[in-house]
Amino acid sequence: MTSAIPAKTTTASSTDPGPRLDTGTSTTNGKTRKAPKQYSDRVRAERRLGWILAGPAFVIMLLVTLYPILQAIFESLFQFRLTAPGEREFIGLGNYAVILSDPVWWSGLWTTVLITIITVAVELVLGFALALVMHKALKSVRGLLRTAILVPYGIITVVSAFAWFYAFDINSGYINNWFGWLPGIDENLNWFAQGPTALFVIMASEIWKTTPFISLLLLAGLAQVPDELSEAAKVDGATWWEQMRKVIIPNMKAAIMVAVLFRALDAFRIFDNVFIMTNGAYGTEVLSLLAYRQSISRLEIGLGSAVSVLLFLCVLLICFVAIKLFKVDLAGSQGGK
């Protein structure tokens, strides 16, 4: 955008062998000597200032994530209970063998994957509809719509979980009363006493709370589709559906991919709604809850760390698949400008 930044980039890269970590100036000395002394000083000062300003945030981010995950990998190799610290024993990959041979892990993984797929699919459709509404809305209602949509975005997940829980709960709820005319629903239906119905409410709360986020990402994508394109399609006699399918959606594919990946990673970490509504009972246990129960409730640090590491590997795998197979360009879509 601004002329200053690209200009600087090009002049700097002509003296610089290429982007690299700031490993000090000694490696580039030989090559920069040819450039005028004053200039390379300025470049060097700018680099130093850049790292002075960006460094603290960078270091803190590494400290609060990289250090704990390395610690978790280390702890996961031990049999270690906080209640019996003296009996700490190195068992290699033993914890992983225990977890991967336990059906609890696999049912947790399955539940988590199921929740991720269903919620992201529903949210994509619902979020796209909301984005279209916000995009096309008349000026007079635009502010109102945005304000309303931001309420679920900002609300605490735990509050959302309680709101949905109390609405469906067999004692304090009214849903059984309202929807008693539907087959399968009557006043004795206890939504939280069996897996499928409990998962339904858990997913409803999750979808309600996070759809605004995905719809805002899609709104940003919609705003990037040039109006002339859909205008031209309209002039050529394309129906609304044809405009969507042939013009709008292909042009915002990148935005859709990024939104789906972000939401999928977020949904995979689902914890709050499950904890509040069922605490993992009746086959609703998800992986985050499994890790929590092992380490925080049972103080089995070794096993809990191993679950944490496996969860982390799952997230990495999702990212890897998305980036390699679907070519989602996360950094490029944001930092490209």
Partner 1 sequence: MTNTSTRNKVLWAIVTVLVLVYALFPVISILATSFKSPSDLTSGKFLPSSGTATTSNYEQILVGDAQGLFLSALRNSIGITLIATFIAVVLATLCAYAIARLDFPGKKLVLTTALAVSIFPVISIVTPLFNLWRTIGLYDTWLGLIIPYLSLTLPISIWTLTAFFRQIPWELEQAAQVDGATTWQAFRKAIVPLAAPGVFTTAIIAFFIAWNDFVYGISLTSTEAARPVPAALAFFTGASQFEAPTGAISAAAIIVTIPIVLLVLLFQRQIVSGLTSGAVKG
Binding to partner 1, residues 278-297 (CB under 8 A): 287-288, 291-292, 295-296
Q: Does 130 participate in binding partner 1 (rule CB under 8 A)?
A: yes
| Interface with partner 1, residue 27, by CB under 8 A | no
Task: Name which of 191 and 262 has its Cβ closer to partner 1.
Answer: 262
Distance separating alpha carbons of residues 120 and 179, to the nearest angstrom: 26
Which tokens sit at 53? 């300003």
Asked if 88 interacts with partner 1 (CB under 8 A), we say no
Segment 305 to 334, residues that bind partner 1, using CB under 8 A: 305, 308-309, 311-312, 315, 319, 330-331, 333-334
CB 252 within 8 A of CB 218: yes
Kindly state whether residue 4 participates in binding partner 1, applying the rule CB under 8 A. Answer: yes
Can you tell me whether residue 89 is helix, strand or coil?
Answer: strand
Name the phi and psi angles at 79, rounded to 5.
-90, 115
Residues in 191-230 that interact with partner 1 by CB under 8 A: 205, 208, 212-213, 216-217, 219-221, 223-224
Residue 280 and residue 62 in contact, taking contact as beta carbons nearer than 8 Å: no
71 binds partner 1 (CB under 8 A): yes
- Distance between CA atoms of residues 278 and 32, nearest Å: 64
Please calculate the CA angle 23-25-31 and round it to the nearest 5 degrees.
120
Position 300: which residue type? E
Compose the 150-189 pattern: x for residues touching partner 1 by CB under 8 A, - for all others: xxxxxxxxxxx-xxx-xx---xxxx-xxx--------x--
Nearer to partner 1, 104 or 223 (CB): 223
User: Which tokens in the block code for residue 237?
Assistant: 């006699």
Minimum separation from the CB atom of position 334 to partner 1 (A): 5
Tell me whether residue 118 or residue 265 sits nearer to partner 1 (CB atom): 265
The least distance separating partner 1 from the CB of residue 292, rounded to whole angstroms, comes to: 6
Is residue 36 within the footprint of partner 1 (CB under 8 A)?
A: no
> Using alpha carbons only, what angle is made at residue 157 by residues 151 and 160, rounded to the nearest 5 degrees?
70
Report the distance separating Cα 275 and Cα 19, nearest Å: 45
* Minimum distance of partner 1 from residue 187's CB (angstroms): 7
